[in-house]
Structure formats: structure tokens, C-alpha cells
Amino acid sequence: MVTLHRPGWIYRDSERPVIICQVEVLRHLMRTMPEPGPPEPRLSDFLNRACEAEITYTTTWLRSELNPEIAGRLGIREDLPMVVWDEIFYDLHDRKICFNSIYFHPLRIDLSMLLTI
């Protein structure tokens, strides 16, 4: 698996990180390895280019986690739980393409969902 720590997938408010995305892509799917420099603004654009894969759906779940490394990057106490949004991305043939964990600053982000009926 290739773990991507791309600076463009750290989202900031006016002064500090508030959302950090960690992405892992299955190595055997990578047609081109990531190069240094700014990434594509959207993960789907990166996957289309690097894996020649088009994401058609995801599975998603929410959980809580203590993570000292991410806490340090967000500038919060290590014992402060964070909401984590995990996703698995699939292509049209139900093949797993990548795994995504999104960490939210627990004091700066108010998480909500809009669902259509």
C-alpha cells in the first residue's frame, strides 16, 4: 500500500489545520507514483491520473479515535478524542482502490450531514 501524506489534503481555517486527510492507495494499482509538489485539489482527480481508476462509490463510517500524531498536527492535546470519517473507494467493478481517513479538529469543526430522501 502507498500512504499519501499530501500537504494539499490538509484543510485550514484562517490560521491552522482543522481537517487532515490520510489516503492509502493499493500499490499494485498505481500507474504513476506521486511526485513532490502541490497535489490535485480533488482526490478523485489524483486517482484518475495515478491509478487510471474512476471511483463510482464509497463505503463510509464514523468513529472516534485518540491519535497522538494527528493531535500534534492539529495542535490539540493528545488525550482529546477526534471524529474520524473512514472511507473505502471502489471502482465500477467493485474493486477497492483506496482507503481514506479524515480527522476533524474536535474544537473547531462542527460535523453534520445532509441526507436526501
Specify the higher pLDDT residue, 7 or 92: 92
| Model confidence pLDDT, tens digit, residues 25-78 | 888 888 877 776 666 777 888 888 888 888 999 999 999 999 999 999 999 999
Cα–Cα distance for residue pair 105/82, rounded to 1 Å: 7
Q: Kindly tell me the burial class for residue 64, based on how many C-beta atoms sit within 10 Å of its own C-beta (0-12, 13-18, 19 or more).
A: exposed
Average pLDDT, the chain: 86
Q: In the beta sheet, which residues pair with residue 12?
A: 17
Contact 76, 59 (CB under 8 A): no
Q: Is the pTM of this model over 0.85?
A: no
Determine the average pLDDT of the residues in 69-97: 94
- Is the pLDDT score of 110 beyond 90? no
- Is the pLDDT score of 102 beyond 90? yes
Q: What is the pLDDT of residue 24?
A: 86
* Residue 89: Cβ within 10 Å count: 23
